[in-house]
Structure 1
Amino acid sequence: MTSSAALERGRAAYAEHRWLDAFTALTDADGERSLDADDLDRLANAALVMGREAVGLDLAIRAHEAYLRIPDGADPAARSAAWIGIYHLSRGDMAQSNGWLARAARIADDGRLEAASGLLLIPRALGALNGGDPATAARTFAEAIRFGELHGDREVTVLGRLGEGQARIMLGETVAGLSLLDEAMVAVTAGEVSVVASGIVYCSVIGTCHLAYDVRRAQEWTIALDHWCGARPDMVMFSGQCQAHRAELYCLHGAWTDALDAARAAQELTRRGDWSAAWGAWYQQGEVHRLRGEVGEAEAAYLRANETGFAPEPGLALLRLAQGRVRDARSLIREAAGDVDPATRRQLLPAVVEIELAAGDVGAARLAADELIAATPADGMPLMQAVAARAEGSVRLEEGGATGALVQLRRAWALWEELDAPYEAARCRVLAARASLALRDDDSASMELAAARAVFVELGATPDVLRVDGLARSAHEPARSRTPLTRREIEVVRLVAAGKTNRVIAGELYLSEKTVDRHLSNIFAKLGVSSRAAATAFAYEHALI
Structure 2
Amino acid sequence: MTGIDGRRAPPGHDGSSPKGSAMTPSETLDRGRAAFAEHRWGEAFDALADADETGALHAADLERMSTAAILLGRDAVGMDLATRAHEAFLGIEDAAGAARCATWIGIYLMGKGDDARAGGWLARAKRIAAEDPAAEPAEALLHVAAALDQLYSGAVPTAAATFATAFSLGRRFHDRDAMALAQLGEGQAKIMLDDLPGGLALLDEAMVAVTAGEISAVASGIVYCSVIGTCHLAFDVRRAQQWTIALDHWCGERPDMVMFSGQCQAHRAALYCFHGAWTDAMDAARVAQERAGVGDWSGRFGAWYEEGEVHRLRGEFDAAEVAFHRAGETGYPPQPGLALLRLAQGRVRLARSLIREAIEHVDPATRRQWLAAVVEIELAAGDRAAARAAADELDASTPADAMPMMRAVTARSDASVRLEEGDARGALARLRAAWTTWEELDAPYEAARCRVLAAQASRSLGDEASAAMDLAAARDVFAELGAVPDVLRVDGLARGSSASRGLPLTRREIEVVRLVAEGLTNRAIAGRLYLSEKTVDRHLSNVFAKLGISSRAAATAYAYEHALI
TM-score (norm 2): 0.89
Q: Structure 1 residues 23-32 or 391-400, which shifts more?
A: 23-32
How far apart are residue 99 of structure 1 and its match? 1.1
Matching residue of 1:46 = 68
Q: Is 2:512–2:539's contact at 8 Å kept on the other side of the alignment?
A: no
1:95 has 2:116 as partner: yes
Q: Is 1:256–1:288's contact at 8 Å kept on the other side of the alignment?
A: yes
Alignment equivalent of 1:17, drawn from 19, 23, 39: 39
How far apart are residue 488 of structure 1 and its match? 6.4
Which amino acid counterpart does residue 221 of structure 2 have in structure 1? G
Alignment equivalent of 1:467, drawn from 489, 501, 508: 489
Alignment equivalent of 2:507, drawn from 476, 484, 501: 484
- What SS does the aligned partner of 2:346 have? coil
Query: What do residues 425-451 of structure 1 show as CA deviations (whole Å, max 9, x unaligned)?
Result: 001101111111111111101110110
Q: Structure 2 CA distance, aligned partners of 1:367 and 1:269?
A: 42
Change (3 A) 1:444 1:272: same
Q: Structure 2 CA distance, aligned partners of 1:147 and 1:324?
A: 54
Q: Is 2:444–2:477's contact at 8 Å kept on the other side of the alignment?
A: yes
How far apart are residue 339 of structure 1 and its match? 2.7
Alignment equivalent of 2:531, drawn from 511, 516, 520: 520
Q: Is 2:522–2:537's contact at 8 Å kept on the other side of the alignment?
A: no
Change (3 A) 1:31 1:413: same
Change (3 A) 1:539 1:299: farther
Q: Is 1:492–1:520's contact at 8 Å kept on the other side of the alignment?
A: no
Matching residue of 2:542 = 537
Query: What do residues 313-354 of structure 1 show as CA deviations (whole Å, max 9, x unaligned)?
Result: 100101100111000000001011113211010111000000
Unpaired segments ≥5 residues, structure 2: 1-23, 548-554, 560-565
Alignment equivalent of 1:74, drawn from 69, 92, 95: 95
How far apart are residue 531 of structure 1 and its match? 7.0
Query: What do residues 140-186 of structure 1 show as CA deviations (whole Å, max 9, x unaligned)?
Result: 11111111112221111111110000001001111101111001000
How far apart are residue 4 of structure 1 and its match? 1.9
Q: Is 1:243–1:265's contact at 8 Å kept on the other side of the alignment?
A: yes
Q: Is 2:95–2:128's contact at 8 Å kept on the other side of the alignment?
A: yes
Alignment equivalent of 2:365, drawn from 337, 343, 358: 343
Q: Is 1:494–1:539's contact at 8 Å kept on the other side of the alignment?
A: no
Which amino acid counterpart does residue 99 of structure 1 have in structure 2? G
Matching residue of 1:32 = 54
- What SS does the aligned partner of 2:412 have? helix
1:61 has 2:66 as partner: no
Q: Kindly report structure 1 stretches of 4+ aligned residues shifted beyond 6 Å.
A: 493-496
Matching residue of 2:237 = 215
- Equivalent positions of 1:249-398 (< 5 A) are 249-398=271-420
1:202 has 2:224 as partner: yes
Query: What do residues 118-150 of structure 1 show as CA deviations (whole Å, max 9, x unaligned)?
Result: 211111111111111111110111111111112
Q: Structure 2 CA distance, aligned partners of 1:477 and 1:422?
A: 29
Q: Is 2:26–2:56's contact at 8 Å kept on the other side of the alignment?
A: no
- What SS does the aligned partner of 2:531 have? helix
- What SS does the aligned partner of 2:213 have? coil
- What SS does the aligned partner of 2:295 have? coil
Q: Is 1:489–1:519's contact at 8 Å kept on the other side of the alignment?
A: no
Q: Is 2:509–2:543's contact at 8 Å kept on the other side of the alignment?
A: no
How far apart are residue 410 of structure 1 and its match? 1.0
Matching residue of 1:148 = 170
Alignment equivalent of 1:224, drawn from 217, 242, 246: 246
- What SS does the aligned partner of 1:379 have? coil
Change (3 A) 1:206 1:488: farther
- What SS does the aligned partner of 1:520 have? coil
- What SS does the aligned partner of 1:4 have? helix
Query: What do residues 493-522 of structure 1 show as CA deviations (whole Å, max 9, x unaligned)?
Result: 6699x9x452xx37xxxxxx7x35x6225x
1:108 has 2:114 as partner: no
Matching residue of 1:177 = 199
Q: Is 1:492–1:519's contact at 8 Å kept on the other side of the alignment?
A: no
How far apart are residue 102 of structure 1 and its match? 1.1
Query: What do residues 273-315 of structure 1 show as CA deviations (whole Å, max 9, x unaligned)?
Result: 1101111000000000000000100000000001000111100
Q: Is 1:493–1:535's contact at 8 Å kept on the other side of the alignment?
A: no
How far apart are residue 536 of structure 1 and its match? 3.1
TM-score (norm 1): 0.93
Q: Is 2:408–2:434's contact at 8 Å kept on the other side of the alignment?
A: yes
Q: Structure 1 CA distance, aligned partners of 2:360 and 2:241?
A: 29
1:456 has 2:456 as partner: no
Q: Structure 1 residues 531-540 or 448-457, which shifts more?
A: 531-540
Matching residue of 2:263 = 241
Alignment equivalent of 2:448, drawn from 423, 426, 436: 426
How far apart are residue 94 of structure 1 and its match? 1.4
Unpaired segments ≥5 residues, structure 1: 507-512, 525-529
Q: Is 2:210–2:223's contact at 8 Å kept on the other side of the alignment?
A: yes
Q: Structure 2 CA distance, aligned partners of 1:29 and 1:421?
A: 53
Instruction: Provide the identity percentage.
Output: 63
How far apart are residue 533 of structure 1 and its match? 2.4
Which amino acid counterpart does residue 360 of structure 2 have in structure 1? G
